Structure 1
Amino acid sequence: MSTSRRQVIGGFGAALIAGQGFASSAAPGKASASAKQAWPAGFVWGVATAAHQIEGNNVNSDYWVLEHARGSKFKDQSGDACDSWNRWREDVDLVHGMGLTAYRFSVEWARIEPERGHFSEAALGHYRRMCLRCREVGIMPIVTFHHFTSPRWVAVMGGFENPAVASLFARYCERTARALGDLIGAACTMNEPNAQVTSYVMRGYQPYPGEANVAAEAARSLGAERFAAYFLGDALKARDGCLKAHVLATQAIKSVVPGLKVGLTLALQDLLPGPGGAELHRRVFDEARGPFYEAAGADDFVGVQPYMRLRTGPDGYLPAPAGVPLNRYGADASPDVLGAVVREAHRHCKAPILVSEHGIDTIDDRQRSVHLEASVAVLAQCVAEGLPVLGYLHWSLLDNFEWSSGYEPRFGLVAVDRKSFVRTPKPSAKAFRDIVAGAGAKRGRNRM
């Protein structure tokens, strides 16, 4: 690819974001004030996405089956999603146009190994081209090997509840690392394997209403006797299976790329005990945080993914108090949530910290810009205190398919037309670009 071609395509995202109508919605001077903080050399600035949420037509995955099962609680089916399987170049160009140094995306096990033991060279080649394009424009790929979805053949084995799946996952990671490892800047084995456990404990160790019926319908549609997936099945068995899978996958990836930093990412809201909620708070920590902090302590980094502050009562979450910023669904989305979670992770897990996801669900993009700038200022204070923070990745690049909530949530810096798939950067994309530029971000790092 010629230099002129790189310059033309590399400027595509920047032109979109800098174009007329995309002036920053933040108050004048705020971005530069937060960005003037001293950031470590090589601090990573990026965005995150997940394959099933943006690629579309992930027909061999367990979640595709769940979305179509009779009695499913999904508000929408993923369908074409954002058509990123075909439009991934546009996505990379948008990341480049924001001046970011990293792009965290996931590779899809169901595409790479659609049937047990059959690995698709075409799918591996697709993801390799994504990594190559990122490298061409100075963006470091941070690759997640499992972001909630598994092949349907894994689901009929019982998912990660089945002890045999851990070694099969490690085999997939080893094969994928051989195809992509020389291009990857860091690897996340699994995304939020603790989230299912948190939800399970908060429900009093009870399944979701109707869960057994949906699982039976999913199994029936595949002519199988069982079906288990993330958020569907025995959460404690799945937790133990995921912890084992993470260890084996880390070993497998490092056997191929010894110097690569490998970690896992955790769903970590700022969870506080409210009136009468101390016991529930303790159970959530013991079941859904402690074991994962312990596992991550041996890793090269731990990814933290905070979005809100939640308070436990005797039987569940309490309403948000008056006077705090709220996200679209009424949860406390105070910017200092980010600092609270980073500090918690550092107390309980001495691995360096990557903010691997963070954002806000809101249809008010000005709120997103203000929330982003205030949160980055909070993170700057953590860095000033000497906490080992490696980088910040915003969720998400695109408005996308948000699992059972469908397409209603709005986390993206870029809007996506549901019919044409045209990407339109929001003012918050420029606000983020201004923050990153003010922070003196440097592109072209080989590894995190």
Structure 2
Amino acid sequence: MWRSGAKRGQRCFFRDRTMAFCAPVPPPRASPAACEGQSDMTDMTRRTALTALTVAATAAAGLPAAIAAAQPPRRSWPERFVWGTATAAHQIEGNNVGSDYWLLEHLPGTNFKEPSGDACDSWNRWREDVAMLRELGVTTYRFSIEWARIEPEPGAWSLATLDQYRRQCAALREAGILPIVTFHHFTSPRWIAAQGGWENPDTADRFARYAERAARAIGDLIGAACTLNEPNAQVTSYVMRGSQPFAGEAAIIAAARRALGSDRFGSYFMGDSFKVRDVCLAAHARGRAAIKSVMPQLKVGMTLALQDLVPTPGGEALHKRIFDNARALFYAAAAKDDFLGVQPYMRYRIGPAGYLRAPDGVPLNASGAEASPDVISAVLKEAWRHARVPLFVTENGIETEDEALRERHLAETLDHLHTTIAGGIPVLGYIHWSLMDNFEWRSGYGPRFGLYAVDRTTFARRAKPAAARYAALVAAARPVRIEGLL
């Protein structure tokens, strides 16, 4: 996901740790009621008060009662359409000490706001997470397995880790929930980073070896596999920045090399973006083949970061460079897969020098980027036009602390999704990001995407109003439990 930071008079947007662009901070929008002197209570105050009442009602009555009270209209969805939520290992498990990101979080001068630490403690509390999924009534759960835990040293496999992931998959199956497993969600073992990371062509074969070993351990229990998460994200940011490294990258890489005692350091979001892109494409192809060698019938694809990019006059050339370098090659690769995971969040208008400020009157997320619900339709249409394989919304949501906005965004997004499917675009399912508030990379625990809140001290999970809304929408769709994707 994209994050924001601040500079004087500007807001700067990042893809994980990578600064993409800066834009002027828009002036505050006055409430019409306040302008007209009709009320002392602004629209935002009303929304905040109503949200607080809804949160209190959800907590008091319990999620089942809130679900029953929602009563959304019933609509017809594809018979085998799946509904779910998503997380990623490093963002929720905690203490992923063998990963490159753990190293980066603890470097002197790190650009991470805070370390991941215990995260949501899901390594120990995964049964609570399964209970939350059952409470939501979803039929699938997309989560990632952690390479750094499974292969902490080259060729050394942690059987205890593989056994835990197998128990998680079995528990999901027992609950009637289809596991969709991502084999790599940004983080890699330190030893991979010390050998050049994703700039090193050998990483493609090492990833395939890991994917095969993991597939042998859990492949019979999962419903589909995603090889890599958003391998196009780094090159997208790189092209947007005019093919320049992000500020401070060289110093961070130098510090990581010193910490590892290696003359090389590479990470999924650092280094030569075009080399990383090409190694990711090779790793995806070889990883897919490795998984299929173990489980030939298992459906395999990758997921892409796909925002709705709209060129404005003068921005056509930059838009084309982004498409050619960060989308076209991935669409071509996805055409050989069983499905393509599509992950739309925002709309960006592109000018000659980069992204433009969102226009007035559109929904904004907490970073100030446009988060209109119809983004999902525009992105699905583009992906279908170029990849021509079944699509799967493997992530979608909104960064916000306004829970009324989260509910509204979710419901309206599903309205647009339903219309898009009715128009002939093949979509296998919808997965909301995320199940719970979690560690959002360099931005730490500030951004909120979850259907559940997590107490940072006790790790207690609490359903937000959007959890009841989503559960009611899923129930109204009358989902069918399935054994495998497609």
TM-score, length of structure 1 as denominator length: 0.93
**Does structure 2 retain, via aligned residues, the 8 Å contact 1:272–1:312?**
yes
Give the Cα–Cα distance (whole angstroms) in 2 for the partners of residues 227 and 40 of structure 1.
46
> How far apart are 1:91 and its partner, in Å?
0.5
Structure label with greater radius of gyration: 2
What's the counterpart of residue 251 of structure 1?
289
What's the counterpart of residue 370 of structure 1?
408
Query: In angstroms, what is the RMSD of aligned CA positions?
Result: 1.6
Amino acid at match of 1:78: S
Q: Which structure has more strand as a fraction of its residues? A: 2
- 1:267 counterpart = 2:300: no
What's the counterpart of residue 35 of structure 2?
none
Q: Closer, same or farther in 2 for the Cα pair 1:132/1:23, shift >3 Å?
A: closer
Aligned counterpart in structure 2 of residue 62 of structure 1, from 83, 87, 100: 100
What's the counterpart of residue 72 of structure 2?
32
Superposed CA deviations along residues 39-92 of structure 1, whole A, max 9, x for unmatched, are 111101000000000000000000011111122111111000000000011011
Q: Closer, same or farther in 2 for the Cα pair 1:388/1:278, shift >3 Å?
A: same
Aligned counterpart in structure 1 of residue 433 of structure 2, from 380, 395, 403: 395
- 1:20 counterpart = 2:57: no
> How far apart are 1:18 and its partner, in Å?
8.5
**Does structure 1 retain, via aligned residues, the 8 Å contact 2:75–2:476?**
no
What's the counterpart of residue 256 of structure 2?
218
- The 3-state SS of whatever aligns with 1:181 is helix
Amino acid at match of 1:182: D
- The 3-state SS of whatever aligns with 1:150 is coil
What's the counterpart of residue 452 of structure 2?
414
Superposed CA deviations along residues 196-220 of structure 1, whole A, max 9, x for unmatched, are 0000001100001110110110110
> How far apart are 1:19 and its partner, in Å?
6.1
Give the Cα–Cα distance (whole angstroms) in 2 for the partners of residues 276 and 321 of structure 1.
17
Amino acid at match of 1:309: R
Amino acid at match of 2:331: Y
**Does structure 2 retain, via aligned residues, the 8 Å contact 1:184–1:447?**
no
**Structure 1 runs not aligned, ≥5 long:** 1-15
What's the counterpart of residue 13 of structure 1?
none
Matches within 5 A, 1:154-303: 154-303=192-341
**Does structure 2 retain, via aligned residues, the 8 Å contact 1:24–1:428?**
no
> How far apart are 1:159 and its partner, in Å?
1.1
Superposed CA deviations along residues 132-157 of structure 1, whole A, max 9, x for unmatched, are 00001100000000000000000111
Give the Cα–Cα distance (whole angstroms) in 2 for the partners of residues 244 and 290 of structure 1.
15
What's the counterpart of residue 382 of structure 1?
420
**Does structure 1 retain, via aligned residues, the 8 Å contact 2:224–2:484?**
no
- 1:105 counterpart = 2:139: no
- The 3-state SS of whatever aligns with 2:220 is coil
What's the counterpart of residue 313 of structure 1?
351
Aligned counterpart in structure 2 of residue 82 of structure 1, from 103, 120, 142: 120
Superposed CA deviations along residues 328-371 of structure 1, whole A, max 9, x for unmatched, are 11111000001110111001110100000000000011111110
What's the counterpart of residue 188 of structure 2?
150
Q: Closer, same or farther in 2 for the Cα pair 1:19/1:121, shift >3 Å?
A: farther
What's the counterpart of residue 429 of structure 1?
467
Give the Cα–Cα distance (whole angstroms) in 1 for the partners of residues 362 and 342 of structure 2.
22
Superposed CA deviations along residues 156-176 of structure 1, whole A, max 9, x for unmatched, are 111121111101100000000
Amino acid at match of 2:446: E
**Does structure 2 retain, via aligned residues, the 8 Å contact 1:274–1:318?**
no
What's the counterpart of residue 5 of structure 1?
none
> How far apart are 1:22 and its partner, in Å?
4.8
- 1:52 counterpart = 2:90: yes
Aligned counterpart in structure 1 of residue 175 of structure 2, from 108, 123, 137: 137
- The 3-state SS of whatever aligns with 1:289 is helix
Amino acid at match of 2:141: Y
Superposed CA deviations along residues 186-241 of structure 1, whole A, max 9, x for unmatched, are 00000000000000001100001110110110110111111110211111100000
**Does structure 2 retain, via aligned residues, the 8 Å contact 1:17–1:425?**
yes
Give the Cα–Cα distance (whole angstroms) in 1 for the partners of residues 347 and 253 of structure 2.
31
Instruction: Give identity over the alignment, percent.
Output: 61
Give the Cα–Cα distance (whole angstroms) in 1 for the partners of residues 476 and 224 of structure 2.
24
Give the Cα–Cα distance (whole angstroms) in 2 for the partners of residues 419 and 334 of structure 1.
34
TM-score, length of structure 2 as denominator length: 0.86
Amino acid at match of 2:330: F
**Structure 2 runs not aligned, ≥5 long:** 1-56
Give the Cα–Cα distance (whole angstroms) in 2 for the partners of residues 133 and 143 of structure 1.
14
Give the Cα–Cα distance (whole angstroms) in 2 for the partners of residues 189 and 65 of structure 1.
23
- The 3-state SS of whatever aligns with 2:180 is strand
Amino acid at match of 2:133: V
Amino acid at match of 1:45: W
